[in-house]
Amino acid sequence: MVKIGSGAIREVEDVRLSRYACYLILQNADPSKDVVAHGQTYFAIQTRRQELQDQQSFNQLSEDKRRVMLRNELTEHNKTLTAAAKDAGVTTHVDYAIFQDHGYKGLYGGLGAKDIHSRKGLSKSQKILDHMGSSELAANLFRATQAEDKLRREQISGKDIANFVHYEVGQTVRRTISELGGVMPENLPTPERSVKKLEKQQAKPQISIDTE
């Protein structure tokens, strides 16, 4: 029963939403509202967490295996992000480089790809994604998946708006890391071995010698 004025009351229906219904409402609501933005972030994190649990008990994998798996996932998601960006108007190689840089700047507190490359002390031929630990790769994977979803969900049109969206998503991921008490991606250590080297090592057949 609720009050409707002048002391009168009226019976109204009380609706209980399922978890999935909440998810659908949040995904289609206005992300400029704090409660919606926090809700979208929550469901994105929970979805990603469940995915990782389903992938061969991710938490039980060694750091090297995590890096290889996440790097491969990021490669695939970057392809779909490229397609979404293209639909939004990011068409040339230069356009896409600028688009990617906006995502990095949002996530890395203003640092672009060249800045990150320099900070890691890499040569020109080395790719920054191959020289990230699992936590840093996971943050970038989250950025890529959420940027793609937002571009498609909101049917973004125009490369300037797409760049802003990517930057905004990067910032949101950065805030989430901060709220969880995590280390900012630019402050995470750079692994000694690249993912390429790890892949070659893992591809080698393991030979056991029976000494009996």
More confident of the two residues 47 and 17: 17
Q: Which amino acid belongs to residue 157?
A: S
**Per-residue pLDDT reduced to its tens digit, 140-160:** 999 999 999 999 999 999 999
Is residue 112 over pLDDT 90? Answer: yes
Helix (H) or strand (E) holding 23: helix 19-27
pLDDT of residue 48: 75
Domain boundaries, given as residue ranges, for the chain = 1-60, 61-193
Tell me which residue has tokens 């000494």: 211
For CA atoms 155, 171, 119, 52, give the dihedral sign.
Answer: negative
Mean pLDDT over 169-182 rounds to 93
Can you say how many angstroms the Cα of residue 200 is from the centroid of all Cα atoms in its chain? 26
**Per-residue pLDDT reduced to its tens digit, 69-107:** 899 999 999 999 999 999 999 999 999 999 999 999 999
Q: Which amino acid belongs to residue 5?
A: G
Mean pLDDT over 194-204 rounds to 84
What region does 192 belong to: left with phi over 0, alpha with psi -120 to 50, or beta?
A: alpha
Query: Residue 133: which pLDDT band, with cuts at 50, 70 and 90?
Result: very high
Tally helices (H) and strands (E) across the chain.
8, 2
DSSP state of 194: -
Q: Do residues 142 and 48 make contact, with C-beta atoms less than 8 angstroms apart?
A: yes
For CA atoms 122, 127, 131, 135, give the dihedral sign.
Answer: positive
Closest CA to 99 of 15, 26, 193, 169: 169
pLDDT of residue 59: 66
Residues 6+ apart with CB under 8 A from 200: none
Query: Residue 205: which pLDDT band, with cuts at 50, 70 and 90?
Result: low
pLDDT of residue 115: 96
What is the pTM assigned to this prediction? 0.69
Q: Which backbone phi and psi does 6 adopt, to 5 degrees? A: 55, 25
Q: Do residues 129 and 199 make contact, with C-beta atoms less than 8 angstroms apart?
A: no
Task: Report percent pLDDT > 70 for the chain.
Answer: 92
pLDDT of residue 57: 64
More confident of the two residues 64 and 136: 136
Mean pLDDT over 166-186 rounds to 94
Extract the tokens encoding 31.
Answer: 């992300």
